[in-house]
Amino acid sequence: MCVVCGCSQNNRLAGPDLARPGAAVSGSASSEGPQIDPRSGDLHYGAGAAKVSVPGMSQARAIRLEQDILGANQRIAEQNRAHFAAHGVLALNLVSSPGSGKTTLLCATIDALRQRHPALPVAVIEGDQQTSFDAERIRATGAPAIQINTGKGCHLDAPMVAAAFAQLHSHAQPQAHGHEHPHEHGHAHGHAHHHDHAHGGPSLLFIENVGNLVCPAMWDLGERAKVAILSVTEGEDKPLKYPDMFAAAQLMILNKIDLLPHVAFNVERCIELARRVNPTIEIIQLSASTGQGMADWLHWIEHALGHEHDHGHAHAPAAPSAAEQALRERVAALEAELAQLRAGAVA
C-alpha cells in the first residue's frame, strides 16, 4: 500500500509490475524500483533517471489532455480560499505526525486567544481516520468544532473542508460573527449567497489535518498557510526525512520544548535541516503545556489576521534575506531578458 509513508508493507517483488509487459517502457527496467545503497542496504525509491516513453502503435484516436491530476481538488481549494476571504476567515492547515501535540496546542491557543481577543471567533475542523475525540476536546474549550473522519483516507481534501465549513456555519456559528445567513448552509459549491455583507471582523479557522507527515503536503485545502508541528520527542531529522511537508509549510512549530532537558534533540540541527528543504520557513519554539513561547505563536497569528494591536514594539520591515535578495536579482535578470526578447520580436 503506502510505500511512501510506510503505513503498510509493500514488497516490490510481490507487486504486479514485474508481471506487466508494459511496465518497463524503455531505459532500465529497474528505474521504478528502489535503488539499494550497497553499504547500508537502505532502499531509495524514486532515484531513477527520467525516462523516455515510446508512443503506442495503435491507430486509435489520441487525445491530448495535459491536465493536473490534482486539478479537481485545486479548483475546490480555490473556491474555499475565495469563500474564506469573503468571510474574513484566516484558515490555517495544521500538519504533523500523530502525537506531536496538535490538539493540545490548539486547546491552549484557543484559551489564550480568548484572553487576548475575547471577540475573535475561532472554529476548528478536525481530521482523523476515526473517532470524535479531538473535536470533543476542542468543544470543551467552548470553540465550535466539526470532526471529519476520513475512514481509510490519510489526508483531508478540499471538498471535505468545504463540506465541514458549511457544517460549521449551519451547526455552530462562531460567536460574535456579526451577521446571519438568511439561508440554509448545507449547500455544495455553486452557492448563491452574497459575500458583500458587512462582517463583525476577522475570524480564525484551524484545520487540524490527519496526523501524517506525507500525504497532506499535496492537498491544498484553501488555507492561507500550512503550519507544520514537530515535537522534540520525535527526532531532529524529520524535516529532511519528510521534506515535502516542510517545503510546503510556511511555519514550523517546534513543540514540547519543556522536554528538551530529557531528550537528545539538537534544536539547531533541526532548524538547519528545515531551512535546507525550505530556506524561507519561519520557526517558533514553544511548549503548549507550560506556555513557554506561546506568545510568539499568538503574535504570528495576530499578524496573519492583520490585527493592529499594541504589543509594545514597532515592526520595521524585515530586511530581505540573502535568499530573497538573490531571487529578486534573478527575477530582475529574467525580466530584462524577456524585455529584450520581446523587443527583438517586435523589431
Partner 1 sequence: MHEASLAGGVLQLVDDTAQREAFSRVLQLRLEVGQLAGVEVQALRFALDCIAPGTRLEGAQIEIVESPGLGWCLGCKQSVTITQRGQPCPLCASHLIQLTGGMELRVLDLQVSDD
C-alpha 205/C-alpha 288 separation (Å) is 19
Contact between 250 and partner 1 per CB under 8 A: no
In the structure grid, which three cell numbers stand for residue 271, read together? 532548524
Q: Minimum distance from CB of 337 to partner 1 (Å)?
A: 13
In the structure grid, which three cell numbers stand for residue 268, read together? 539547531
Task: Out of 263, 326, 332, 339, name the contact with partner 1 by CB under 8 A.
Answer: 326
Q: Minimum distance from CB of 19 to partner 1 (Å)?
A: 10
**What single letter denotes the amino acid at residue 228?**
A
Taking CB under 8 A as the rule, which mask of x and - marks residues 154-183 in contact with partner 1? xx-x--------------------------
- Residue 223, Cβ density class (10 Å: 0-12 exposed, 13-18 middle, ≥19 buried): buried
Q: Minimum distance from CB of 193 to partner 1 (Å)?
A: 27
Task: Out of 139, 224, 243, 258, name the contact with partner 1 by CB under 8 A.
Answer: 243
Considering only 47-55, 90-98, 160-168, 335-343, which stretch makes contact with partner 1 by CB under 8 A?
Answer: 47-55
Contact between 65 and partner 1 per CB under 8 A: yes
Instruction: Compute how many residues bind partner 1; rule: CB under 8 A.
Output: 69
**CA Rg, the chain, in Å?**
24
Q: What is the SS3 assignment for 30-57? A: HHHCCEECCCCCCEECCCCCCCCCCCCC
Contact between 32 and partner 1 per CB under 8 A: yes
Contacts of 263 (CB under 8 A, 6+ apart): 232, 233
Q: CA separation (Å) from 50 to 53, 56, 65, 95?
A: 10, 19, 21, 31
Task: Out of 123, 162, 273, 294, name the contact with partner 1 by CB under 8 A.
Answer: 273
Applying the rule CB under 8 A, the residues between 90 and 149 that interact with partner 1 are none
Contact between 25 and partner 1 per CB under 8 A: yes
Contact between 304 and partner 1 per CB under 8 A: no
Phi-psi region of 105 (alpha: psi -120 to 50; beta: other; left: phi over 0): alpha
C-alpha 40/C-alpha 303 separation (Å) is 47
In the structure grid, which three cell numbers stand for residue 294, read together? 506561546
Site for partner 1, rule CB under 8 A? 1-5, 7-8, 10, 12, 15-17, 20, 22-23, 25, 31-33, 45-54, 56, 58, 60-73, 153-155, 157, 214-215, 217-219, 239-240, 243-244, 247, 273, 275-277, 279, 322-323, 326-327, 330
